[in-house]
Amino acid sequence: MTDELTASGVIRKLMPWETALLCEHFLRLDPEARNCRFAAGVSDDTITGYADTALGPDALVHGFLVDGVLRGAAELRLLDDNAAEVAVTVEDAWRLTGVGTALFGRLLLTARNRGVRSLAMTCLPANRGMQRLAARFDGKITYASGDVFADVSAQPANPLSLWREAWRDGSSVAATVLDAQLNLLKRARKRSAELGGQDSR
């Protein structure tokens, strides 16, 4: 599957020390998305506690960043028996622009290269978005105990899949550096426009 991302931003793996970025993203989710990702009525403290451990050694998280702010995340948690749990969250203003699909594609490639064969995610029956997203990756959707389970199987790793991950990691680093430079330029331009405005008064 090719990326059909139309939103502009950078997709890259989050580093273990980037907990704050992830936590702020989770806390910005609207109540419905928070309900879909965590459960009804989950408090800010619970989310913060979860985010503190979400970038641990058993996890790999891909993020979608816009101007250095995390707007989407795809979490992969490795389990025993070549299986993993996944969850995807995209903030409201960036939905339906392919971010979820692009994040999931990266996650699937990473899982494949780590020997994962089956990725499972749980979502609410009314969550059409997540079900559509899983279906794009040939996900098998099953229904039990009021929940919907989507199971996506990954191909075994091969030299091309390993190369694709390494290439994407490399381009993400380049894109991140470029993004940071553009932001600095934007800030410098804004600052000089503000100073120019002050001088002409």
Q: What is the distance, to the nearest Å, from the Cα of residue 151 to the centroid of all Cα atoms in its chain? A: 18
129-148 residues in contact with ligand COA (CB under 6 A) are 129-130, 132-133, 136
Task: Enumerate residues 6+ apart whose C-beta is below 8 A from 41.
Answer: none
Task: For residues 72 and 39, give the distance between their C-alpha atoms in angstroms, rounded to a whole number.
Answer: 18
Task: For residues 169 and 174, give the distance between their C-alpha atoms in angstroms, rounded to a whole number.
Answer: 9
- Strands 147-153, 59-66: pairing is unpaired
Q: Minimum CB separation from ligand COA for residue 170, in Å? A: 24
Q: Minimum CB separation from ligand COA for residue 111, in Å? A: 15
Q: Does 120 bind ligand COA (CB under 6 A)?
A: no
Task: For residues 19 and 94, give the distance between their C-alpha atoms in angstroms, rounded to a whole number.
Answer: 21
151-190 residues in contact with ligand COA (CB under 6 A) are none
Q: Does 71 bind ligand COA (CB under 6 A)?
A: no
Which range of residues in 18-26, 32-40, 41-49, 153-161 is near ligand COA by CB under 6 A? 32-40
Among residues 23, 88, 119, 154, the one that binds ligand COA under rule CB under 6 A: 88
Task: For residues 122 and 20, give the distance between their C-alpha atoms in angstroms, rounded to a whole number.
Answer: 25
Among residues 11, 54, 61, 87, the one that binds ligand COA under rule CB under 6 A: 87
Which range of residues in 45-53, 127-135, 164-172, 185-193 is near ligand COA by CB under 6 A? 127-135
